[in-house]
Structure 1
Amino acid sequence: MNYDNIKKVIESCHLNFLIGSGASRPFLGTLGTIENLLTDLAKSSLTKENKTIIDASIKKHYWEVAIKGNLEINNKGNSKLDSTKEAYLDFYSSINTILNKRKSNLISKQVNIFTTNMDLFNEDALEEGGYTYNDGFSGRLNPYFGTENFNNSIRKTSSHFEYQSELPLFNLYKLHGSVNWLLSANEKIKYDNNLEILKGVNDVKIDAKNLLDIEYKKSTKGGDIWVSYTIDELKDQISKKKIRKVKEHADFLEAYDKLIMINPTKEKFETTTRKLTFYELLRMYSNNLEKENSVLFVFGFSFADEHIREITLRVSKANPTLLIVIFAFDKSSKETIFEELSEHDNIIYIYDESDKIKYSLETINKTYFKKLSKELINIKS
């Protein structure tokens, strides 16, 4: 599928995006094999003490790599942070222009952003760009979350003749929760503007000597990669390093568990069905893909999440008008995703066969969405 094909799709389809952790690189790391580790740990027959040590070490590693950086999102001077924020801002700028300028008046000026990321890069870019978005919260002084808040549209009425025009609207669905969500006393999800929960996790310090090494560097033909230790290897580390459970292990896990998010384990769907909010978000993901003439653009996402994968495949078979366009970071990523999804007529992979071009968010936007937005501006002018 070349640029011209994608251009036609964008101008005539309901737009949906599925964004994974790869989009927030280089500032935040990806999930890696954390899901497998936590799943294996839950099924293991280790002692309660060893489980606590390993659980705290895995989640502390995940915290440091993929979550903690959200506390710095308003800072400046970090080149990785700045480049990641700029990539998101450019992306939303391009999509906003496309929504305003594309030819069809029969399609809503809404775009659905589905993301498993708990970070704040999407919100930060939407705020910075001054774009109208719906994250499911309503209220000003005490915003509360509700999935019923997504079924809205925004229109602007002129001061003369009461002419109405629809404004572009970004619906932001955070499928696995967010670092700025907290559970209130009345069991409702409240907006955590000051990131108090995140700060609470950060305040718990664990001495490095009481933590296990979760990954190690391995040399391959394609270069060095990071590989996770197995649960048995982590158990051996406990013996070799003579680590004992300390109060900080439990304190960290208690603070971490206050984060309103789906933990990366293969059993998370059972958790999702018990929590109406997450169940409803997945249902809305499915419902939007079932609409006629819809397109789902995917980037930074590996489809290792079996429940999102199953929903996506089911809808792709049920809705022949749905097109799924997957931007794979590199050739290896494409092969990994293909193993998860296999071949389907309405699933398209975009990647560089020569492996010279890496499809980061910046590259994807520059090659497709930003290019189209500039064309539309020139046409309209």
Structure 2
Amino acid sequence: MLNIIKVREDKGPIKFEKDEAKKGFFKVKEGTNTYINDDGSFSELDLRSRVEPWLSSLFQSEHLSLLLGSGLSSAIQYEATESSDNGMSALDFNNTKYKDKIKEFATKSAEKSGRGKPNIEDYIRVANELLRGLEISESDKDEEEVLRNELNTIIENFTRNISNIENTIAIAELDKREKAFQLLVSFLMSFASRTGTRDRLHIFTTNYDRLIEEGADIAGLHLIDRFVGSLNPIFRASRLDIDMHYNPPGIRGEPRYLEGVAKYTKLHGSIDWVETDTNNIRRIGMPFGAKTLTPFLEAANVSENYQKVMIYPNSSKDRETAEYPYVELFRDFAAALCRPNSTLVVYGYSFGDDHINRIISDMLTIPSTHLVIISFNDKEKRIMNFYEKCGHSDQISLLIGEDIANIKALTSLYLPKSAIDKNSIKMAELIKARIPTKDDKTGREDKE
């Protein structure tokens, strides 16, 4: 399996694959210019010594953001159950007479955005636009009702698919489930372990499931989002920049950041976000692993109206990003990324959403920003297309391939350890000050 890496001073992507003759070693693909040995081979430890320090330095940037896609959920689900499904496969409309038109336009939308085959979001978006047109024209009331009922069924089945992903993880064998969540916790804390002098980690996700929230609960990581309340939190557009601080013993008036806190934004909504009759967006109390959303919708007084569930219909025209609550979510995304000395790490996101890609491209126009793309694969070539077309390749690091970007390899070899170890940092500073490095010796010899 082909892997791609670009870190530090690499001028371009380096392609390599496993060396079948030497366990734990890789070999560079022919024709690739690189810094590697003359025979083109290197070990996992060689790669770790090059990648881990680089990521450690980037993770301590002034501003750090993490964008997670369905690849993370698939990775954890596979570790727990040895199978995975992102739940995004298209669900066909069968009853409406416009079913062929819906499929046609969903396919065109997917092709235009570079996704190839349409997914469920494309179908929901096109159906919503058609339904709105029928409501405005009032030309076919019977068909309008048929389409509304079928759209409701499609969304219900979609939420069941997402719930099933959670359920398969929640009921997996205890040993496998615990190991899967240990990987998730280690992954999240590698990013969240930042010193109190740095801005908070901001986690963004396009996922509808609550795997990240479950992992944060297990890790003791407190997530701050736009919801306010305890039983049925309400989405607040007026949320201030709330944070958590503590007063050190013996020091008054100098509060410090509380460790283990991160900001959290679900860009595309969630299966437990519901629009109530009072026009509020509430997060309902749905346990992780629940098989169906139905009883929780009844508790929210919206019965079985699944169109009240806040699922983001993908749009190439960004129509939905101008509507509540998505306008607030994407404003948070742009504000967190597009500022100096900012680093964005992307994992499990396939670069299939134009409205997200555009904000990332805007971020890279600031010279002090950096983008790290980590992906298990790039079957549709969307990641490499983005890399080649953005025009800021020097500000992009790549880790692509199942040998380096799988969740086990990442957490054990390439991501920084999930702890704020000030003793190690101090020791490294003392060693550097007392023991001359190779560069120091070379500099002294040149002077002599």
How far 1:83 moved relative to its partner? 5.1
2-structure distance, mates of 1:357, 1:41: 40
Asked if 1:34 is matched to 2:120, the reply is yes
Alignment correspondent of 1:88: 184
**Percent of pairs with identical residues:** 22
SS at match of 2:246: strand
Cα distance in 2 for residues equivalent to 1:380 and 1:93: 21
- Whether the 8 Å contact between 1:329 and 1:360 is mirrored in structure 2 is yes
Q: Is 1:19 the equivalent of 2:111?
A: no
Aligned length: 321
1:368 paired to 2:414: yes
CA spacing shift, 1:285–1:150, aligned 2, 3 Å? farther
Measured in 1, the distance between the counterparts of 2:402 and 2:172 equals 31
- The structure 1 residue matched to 2:308, chosen from 239, 247, 258, is 258
Q: Secondary structure at the match of 1:186?
A: coil
Aligned to 1:68: 164
Q: Which amino acid aligns with 1:15?
A: L
1:171-193 Cα deviation digits (max 9, x unpaired): 00111112222223321222311
Q: Deviations over 1:117-141 (max 9, x none)?
A: 1211111121112222202222334
Task: State the TM-score, normalized to the length of structure 1.
Answer: 0.70
Letter paired with 1:68: N
Alignment map for 1:128-167 (pairs within 5 Å)? 128-149=218-239, 151-162=241-252, 164-167=255-258
Secondary structure at the counterpart of residue 356 of structure 2? helix
Q: Which runs of 5+ in 2 are unaligned?
A: 1-6, 8-49, 78-83, 90-118, 135-142, 296-302, 428-448
Q: 1:305 aligns with which of 336, 348, 353?
A: 353
Work out the CA distance in 2 between the residues paired with 1:290 and 1:172: 17
CA distance in 1, matches of 2:150, 2:283: 31
Mean Cα displacement is larger for which, 73-82 or 182-191? 73-82
Aligned pairs for 1:89-238 within 5 A:
89-96=185-192, 98-100=193-195, 106-108=197-199, 110-149=200-239, 151-162=241-252, 164-168=255-259, 169-194=261-286, 201=293
Name the TM-score, length of structure 2 as normaliser: 0.61
Specify the alignment match of 1:339 in structure 2.
385
Instruction: Answer whether contact 1:201 1:255 (CA < 8 A) is retained.
Output: no
Q: Does 1:6 align with 2:55?
A: yes
Alpha-carbon separation, structure 2, partners of 1:164 and 1:155:
6
Q: Cα distance, 1:370 vs. partner?
A: 4.0
Quick check: 308-317 or 279-288, which moved more? Answer: 308-317
Q: Distance in 2 between matches of 1:43 and 1:134?
A: 33
Deviation string, structure 1 residues 291-310 (Cα, Å, up to 9, x no partner): 21000000110111111112
The structure-2 alpha-carbon separation of the partners of 1:84 and 1:52, relative to structure 1 and needing over 3 Å to count, comes to farther
Query: Please, which runs of 5 or more residues in structure 1 have no aligned partner?
Result: 204-252
- What corresponds to 1:283 in structure 2? 331
